[in-house]
Amino acid sequence: MTQLVLEQALNGLQFGLMLFLLAAGLTLVFGIMDCINLAHGSLYMVGAYFVAAAAQAADSFWLGLGVGVAGTAGLGLLLELTLFRQLYRRDHLSQVLATFALILIANEAVRLIWGPAPLMLNPPDALAGPVEIGGFFYPAYRLLIIGCGLAVAALLYLLVAKSRVGMWVRAGAANREITEALGINVRALFTAVFVFGAALCALAGGLLGPLLAVQVGMGESVLILAFVVIIIGGIGSIRGALVGALIVGAVDTLGRALLPTLLGAVLPADAASTLGPALASILIYLLMAGILFFRPQGLFPARA
Amino acid sequence: MPIRLTALAAALLLAGAAHAADQIKVGFVSTLSGPGAGLGVDIRDGFQLAMKQLNGKLGGLPAEVLVADDQQNPDVAKQATDKLLKKDKVDFMTGIVFSNLMLAVGPAVFQNQTFYISANAGPSQYAGEQCNPFFFNVAWQNDNLHEAVGKYVQDKGFKNVVIVTPNYPGGKDAVSGFKRYYKDQVSEEIYTKLGQLDYAAELAKVRAGKPDALFFFLPGGMGINFVKQFVAAGLSRDTQLFAPGFSADEDVIKAVGAPMMGMFNSSHWAHDMDNAENKRFVAAFEKEYGRLPSLYASQGYDAALMMDAAVRDVKGNVADKKALQKALEAKRFKSVRGDFKFNSNHYPVQNYYLRVIGKDAQGRVTNKTMGSIFTNHADAYAAQCKMK
């Protein structure tokens, strides 16, 4: 039993950390620039495709990951300079429309270039099997994802909480006008944050590629989850994004693992097998609704 | 002038109804994008291969195949089907992979009195009480392949069995099919979301249950991910995998590779089956597409042959629905799976075989037929069907 709980906790951690990579960029763009970027999920998809294509071309997963992340960061830079700069001053509806258009363009472009069938991205051979930790087996590749996620979280913490740039970012999130008045080049800061967010998207897409599938439309479902995470965590807060992502990861995994069994104890097996999975998949939305009701500003709001 | 044109058109239409059509139109709606795309693509490629061998004709008449992607989405499938029925006025419909989509488009097709030749989806509903003269399934009833695995797992004496399947009509059919012939208590039934790609939570549950056999039905990309993650989690050491042929055919093998070796599965067809039609089909498919055909491809191929034989039988007069139904029921084509016949509910009565994944003579990882599990097996719902 302890083994099952431990394994599910690791699964939840792995899922949560990947959500964090996505939510971190999203929450900064939303919190600091007050810009709703629906195309954030498309950056994740394009990033995964870049990584998969580069990995296939170079025949090396690690090289592919590096090239793919750099390529997506470049694409992010291009998008920020050409499109998003025009959007910051506009209202949310214009931002939603423009970035929704980006989703459609990205999906069709990917379909044109790589075709409708999913791309296969395999983990490095050394990590394809299980490893033994404390008497039980866990997939090595998932451990790597956990490691990468923790490293990025630590890096972000140092960057945001300890560095001067991080201070500007936090200041920008708390009050943009005052920050500008203090003589900080908010424009360049915005560009840097956006590009960094795009790189994190590609990292998540590339790491999840071998586990899931690199396919058209993979960004949309994950985008919804990323929004749930930043709503729970509080918009603009990296700490909120981390906590929110871990909560969503844990609730989703534990819900899927435990709910059908728990319900089975109360309900007849037939009803439990129908209700359990259905309830498990709406659990995180119930959680979000609860947070919105009791703490509408999220757990760690950036603007106090 | 417009009035005269209309009159002329009406006259032509009437003439068309009485005589042979000059062209056969087939509406092909299938899943061609997303995680289920491999299945739809194989059915399409099998169908198109048959069309090519028939020189683009069905029953001797020039034929047009209108292909549309349903994106594995019931609403998209319905829209595409409505357009094919109403605007293109197709004579046959085929192609749908997933049963939930089949159930969504069925009513419109039947109401339009268009024959649906399912090359895959075989929901229990259309085999039993809701059976319909306009619905034929050239492949199997959903439960059948699962029944075959259930029987084999029972015969081999596995006692601790876990089932993993998506929570949708096809998944429910899989569980009831398996349990119809596996008489012992199933330790655990795990239902996942349709289209789920990460099975970490489910695999942890499997590990905790320490089963000696695991039966899963996860078509398309779901199965690819499941097997990969199952092996990566180290579960293949203690647990024997079983699956219906859908989850263990070329599309999955190509993506997963060697880790699948030793997996047992059931099918009504295999690429190594020894009959002249099958040898010709497999050789032509490999030549055309550079890969081995899957059972989906064989089903698409058979669907085209079935339409061809029926149109020839009614001498091209596809407007006579009663005659066309009789011709379809008569099944005058030679299937690549060998002989079979249609039951009263328009589903096949046929043999089911056990296959195991291993290396063939050329060193490719692929399926090898081991022997038959059922002979002349009919589905469990035919008795509830009162075919009009």
Residue A6 has pLDDT above 50, yes or no: yes
Whole-complex ipTM: 0.83
Among A35-44, A58-67, B92-101, B247-256, the range scoring the smallest mean pLDDT is: B247-256
Would the CA dihedral through B43, B44, B47, B52 be positive or negative?
Answer: negative
A213 and B197 within 8 Å at the Cβ level: the answer is: yes
pLDDT at site B7? 56
Q: Report CB contact under 8 Å: B233, A137.
A: yes
Q: Say yes or no for a CB contact (<8 Å) between B33 and A276.
A: no
Q: Per CB distance under 8 Å, which residues of B are interface residues toward A? A: 32-35, 37-38, 41, 69, 167, 189-193, 197-198, 200-202, 204-205, 207-208, 221, 224-225, 229, 231-235, 255
Are residues A4 and B221, on separate chains, in Cβ contact within 8 Å?
no
The strand ranges marked E within chain A are: 130-133, 136-139
Q: Are B347 and B94 within 8 A, CB to CB?
A: no
For an interface test with B, which of A256, A270, A285 has the most B Cβ atoms less than 10 Å from its Cβ? A256
Q: Which DSSP category does B339 fall into? A: -
Q: CB contact, 8 Å: A44 with chain B?
A: no
Pairwise CB contact (< 8 Å): B38 & A281: no
State the Cα–Cα distance between residues B196 and A119, nearest whole angstrom: 16
pLDDT at B293: 92
Residues 6+ positions from A35 with CB-CB distance below 8 Å: A29, A84, A87, A88, A95
Of B192, B193, B233, the CB nearest to A130: B233
Contact A211 B229 (CB under 8 A): yes
Nearest CA-CA distance, residue B33 and chain A, Å: 5
Do B381 and B141 touch, CB atoms closer than 8 A?
A: yes
What number does CATH give the domain B144-267+353-377?
3.40.50.2300
Residues of chain A in contact with residue B33, where contact means CB-CB under 8 angstroms, are 111, 116-117, 216
Contacts of A125 in chain B (CB under 8 A): none
Report pLDDT digits (tens) over B302-355. Answer: 999 999 999 999 998 899 999 999 999 999 899 999 989 999 999 999 999 999
Pairing state between β B61-69 and B57-58: antiparallel
Question: What pLDDT is recorded for position B18?
Answer: 47
User: Which chain A residues have a beta carbon less than 8 Å from that of B201?
Assistant: 8, 11, 253-254, 256-257
Name chain B contacts of A19, Cβ cutoff 8 Å: none
**8 Å CB contact of A136 and B38:** no
β-partners of residue B118 are B137
Residues 6+ away with beta carbon under 8 Å from A192: A165
Flag if B201 and A273 touch (Cβ within 8 Å).
no
Tell me the two tokens of residue B84: 């094919």
Q: Cα(B161)–Cα(B188) distance, rounded to whole angstroms?
A: 7
Annotated domain spans of chain B: 2-140+274-339, 144-267+353-377
**Nearest Cα residue to B163 out of B146, B142, B145:** B146
Q: What is the largest CA-CA distance in chain B?
A: 79
pLDDT of B19 reads 60
DSSP B193-255: -TT----HHHHHHHHHH--SEEEE--TTHHHHHHHHHHHHTTGGGT-EEEEEGGGGSHHHHHH
Which segment of A94-98, B4-8, B278-282, B318-322 scores lowest on mean pLDDT? B4-8
User: Which chain B residue shows the shortest CA-CA distance from A254?
Assistant: B201
Residue B123: closest CA among B104, B105, B143, B93 = B143
Residues listed for chain B: 388
| Shortest distance, CA A185 to any CA of chain B (angstroms) | 42
| Chain A residues in contact with B185 (beta carbon < 8 A) | none
- Closest in B35, B205, B229 to A257, CB measured: B205
Test the A interface: residue of B71, B224, B228 with most A CBs within 10 Å: B228
Query: Quick one: pLDDT band at residue A103, thresholds 50, 70, 90?
Result: very high
Average pLDDT, chain A: 89
Please answer yes or no on whether A215 and B34 come within 8 Å at the CB atom. Answer: yes
| pLDDT 10s digits, B171-227 | 888 999 999 999 988 888 888 888 888 999 899 889 888 999 999 998 877 888 899
Contact between A117 and B229 using a beta-carbon 8 Å cutoff: no
Decide whether B2-140+274-339 matches B144-267+353-377 in CATH topology.
yes
pLDDT of A207: 94
**Backbone φ, ψ for residue B315 (5° rounding):** 55, 40
Map out the domains of chain A as residue ranges: 2-294
CATH code assigned to B2-140+274-339: 3.40.50.2300
Q: State the CB neighbour count (10 A cutoff) for residue A23.
A: 33
Does A135 have pLDDT greater than 70?
yes
So what CATH class is A2-294?
Answer: mainly alpha
Q: Cβ B198–A142 below 8 Å, yes or no?
A: no
Query: In this model, does residue B8 exceed pLDDT 60?
Result: no
Distance (Å, rounded) from C-alpha B40 to C-alpha A180? 55
Residue A108 at interface with chain B, using a CB cutoff of 8 Å = no
- C-alpha angle A218/A140/B161, rounded to 5°? 80
* Angle, in degrees to the nearest 10, between helices A140-157 and B221-232: 90
Per-residue model confidence as pLDDT tens digits over B215-241: 999 887 788 889 989 988 888 888 999
Query: How confident is residue B3, by pLDDT bands cut at 50, 70 and 90?
Result: low
Please determine, for residue A1, whether its predicted confidence score (pLDDT) is greater than 80: no
Quick one: CA torsion of A84, A86, A91, A94, rounded to 10 degrees?
A: -70
pLDDT of B90 over the 50 cut = yes
Band of the pLDDT at B17, cuts 50, 70, 90? very low
